[in-house]
C-alpha cells in the first residue's frame, strides 16, 4: 500500500491504491517525471521482454519453461506496480 499506517488509521478504512493520486497528486506526478518513464512504458518493456522470451521458447522450450516465463512476467509487473508513482526505487 502506498499509504502509511497512521494515514490509514485516520481514514478509518483501507483506501484503494489509486487514491494515492488524489491524496498525493503532486508527489506522484513529480515521481513519474523524475523517473523519465510512465507505467505504460514500464509495462511495454516488460511485455516486449516476455514476448521475446516466448519467441525463443517456441523453438524448443519446454512447457515448464514457458509457464515460468509467464509467471516471471506477472511477478515483474506486480513488483513494479505503483513503484514509480510512489517513488519506490527498484533494483532492476
**Which of 65, 45, 68 minimizes the C-alpha distance to 57?**
65
* Confidence bin at 90 (pLDDT 50/70/90): low
92 — pLDDT class (breaks 50, 70, 90): very low
Residue 37 forms part of a structural domain: yes
Residue 91 lies in a domain: no
Report residue 40 as a C-alpha cell.
Answer: 505504460
What tens digit of pLDDT does each residue of 27-42 get? 999 999 999 999 999 9
The domain total for the chain is: 1
Q: Are 56 and 64 in contact (CB under 8 A)?
A: no
Domain of 74 in residue numbering reads as 5-86
Report the predicted TM-score, pTM, of the whole model to 2 decimal places: 0.77
Q: Is residue 12 part of a domain?
A: yes
20 lies in some domain: yes
Q: Tell whether 92 is covered by a domain.
A: no
Please indicate, yes or no, if residue 41 is contained in any of the structural domains.
Answer: yes
Amino acid at each position: 500500500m502506498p499509504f502509511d499506517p497512521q494515514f490509514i488509521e485516520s481514514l478509518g478504512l483501507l483506501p484503494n491504491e489509486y487514491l494515492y493520486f488524489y491524496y498525493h497528486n503532486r508527489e506522484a506526478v513529480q515521481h513519474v517525471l523524475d523517473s523519465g518513464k510512465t507505467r505504460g512504458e514500464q509495462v511495454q518493456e516488460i511485455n516486449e521482454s516476455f514476448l521475446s522470451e516466448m519467441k525463443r521458447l517456441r523453438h524448443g522450450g519446454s512447457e515448464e519453461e514457458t509457464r515460468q516465463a509467464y509467471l516471471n512476467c506477472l511477478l515483474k509487473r506486480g513488483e513494479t506496480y505503483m513503484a514509480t508513482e510512489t517513488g519506490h526505487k527498484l533494483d532492476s
